[in-house]
Structure 1
Amino acid sequence: MVTKSDDFASQRTSRAVSRGTVLLTAAAAAGALLTGCGNDAGGDAAQTGAAEAARIAATSSSPSASPSGLTDDQTERKEVIPKAKTGWEQALRAAVAAVPKSELVSIKLKGPADRPRWKTEVATSDGAASTVRVDAVTGKAGKARAETDQDDDDKRDMADWLKKATVTPQQAAQTATDKTKGTVTAVELDDTDAGTPIWSVDVVSTDDWNKTTYDIDATDRKVLREHVDRD
């Protein structure tokens, strides 16, 4: 039901590094070949060819760099977060109000910057889930939409998570921001392989626009994992 935040940036960087390595190797080979010609013209050509290949390789090795020095993901966070005048807790209250007797399952800040929104999922005690979108500028909740792909097992699992999660999303977010100062952009309920419910909390530092994700035990507030996304 609840998935982790996707991260394609590392794959993009890996491909860029591989391409840069190939080009640098080609540059070295070209330089060695041309130098072996043994005359001034060959030497000049070797230097020119090697320099050009190295320049291309260096340019190709960092395709996601921007003039500001920020990655694509960091740039997106910098554009979207300041436009979200409604914080996650206010959006949470609007979402659960749209579905009587419901509790938060997940909330995530989404773009674009000119129309930021909080995508939320809430569920009642029987595990029936609904999606509610909340305008991140006005704080107004849209119409709740029941999840149509839930089967009975999904509902039982969801109800079990909610029952076991004695730590509130607000407490989990506080645990995360006590460790990393910044803006909470996502809070979602999940579980470990052992069946322990956890709150996954994303905090973005607005000085460098990096995102830190904390997995917090939803029964005792213990931090189980911390990951800094600098992409």
Structure 2
Amino acid sequence: MTAQLRLRTVSVAAAVCAAVASAPLLTACGDTGGSRVAAAAPSPQGSRSGPASQRRHTEDQAERQALIQATKVPWDKAAATAVGGVEGGKLTEIELRWARAAVGSPSPGPRTPEWDTTVAAGDGTAHTVRVDAVTGKVTESRVDPGQDPEDKRELAARVGAAKVTPQQAAKTATDRTKGTITAVELDDTVWSVDVVTTNDWYKTTYDIDTRSGKVVREHVDRD
């Protein structure tokens, strides 16, 4: 083959490679000796652009899903039950969690969701009240140990200073993010409210001023 013919052959091959390179499935062109290596297009399996229901959940997302799907009693009904058992009681904290195994239990048994609450009595004494999240019954109610008079005064003052109720704070949160309430906590001058969205099992936390009712912080946990 003459040098001019070889040059024309290489030019044609280069043009073919340029045209094929724009296709989704690439066939890499080798040298003029004719060797070729197939290069597959990237797999879509690792992409997060698909529907949320088709993505693999993280451990935290799977835990939220399991907890919420096992729960029959919503937070507000559990809170009302807990507060009703404490004289002059005011809710200061409620959280959905798995019930702890009974002391001396021979085996863990099936996991049961519960609402773990803290209720302040009229004098500021903190009570722990646990409510079964399936039956709605109180499984434990006790006075928190180690409280001194100053602790009680501080808690009573925080509760008394809150002009926004936990129910109002929860409504503010769910008005912004439609989902399931899994926790409400009085933290100094804010109500901290967790809302889990059941299409992706993300958790959004809102900090809501206890006097003005305004949202002062919003954080989405996608883990």
Take 1:98 and 1:71, find their aligned partners in 2: how far apart are those partners? 37
Hey, what does 2:87 align to over in structure 1? 100
CA root-mean-square deviation: 1.4
Q: Percent identity?
A: 55
Instruction: Specify the SS of the correspondent of 1:224.
Output: strand
Hey, what does 1:88 align to over in structure 2? 75
Hey, what does 1:185 align to over in structure 2? 182
Take 2:201 and 2:146, find their aligned partners in 1: how far apart are those partners? 35
Hey, what does 2:65 align to over in structure 1? 78
Q: Determine if the alignment matches structure 1 residue 111 to structure 2 residue 108.
A: no
Hey, what does 1:218 align to over in structure 2? 210
Residues 87 and 122, structure 2, Cα contact 8 Å, conserved in 1: no
Instruction: Return the offset for 1:68.
Output: 5.6
Take 1:102 and 1:122, find their aligned partners in 2: how far apart are those partners? 6
Instruction: Return the offset for 1:143.
Output: 3.5
Question: CA deviation digits over 1:56-111, x for unaligned, max 9?
Answer: xxxxxxxxxxx961110000011110111000000001101111210101000002
Take 1:209 and 1:141, find their aligned partners in 2: how far apart are those partners? 28
| 1:26-65 superposed matches below 5 A | none
| Aligned mate of 2:199, from 207, 221, 224 | 207
Hey, what does 2:221 align to over in structure 1? 229
TM-score computed with the length of structure 1 as normaliser: 0.67
Take 2:57 and 2:121, find their aligned partners in 1: how far apart are those partners? 41
TM-score computed with the length of structure 2 as normaliser: 0.69
Unaligned runs of 5+ in 1: 1-66, 192-196
Query: What stretches of structure 1 move > 6 A for 4+ residues in a row?
Result: none
Instruction: Specify the SS of the correspondent of 2:138.
Output: coil
Unaligned runs of 5+ in 2: 1-53, 100-109
Take 1:114 and 1:157, find their aligned partners in 2: how far apart are those partners? 36
Select the structure that is richer in strand. Answer: 2
Larger radius of gyration: 2
Residues 98 and 143, structure 1, Cα contact 8 Å, conserved in 2: no
Specify the code of the residue in structure 1 equivalent to 2:96. Answer: L
Residues 103 and 124, structure 1, Cα contact 8 Å, conserved in 2: yes
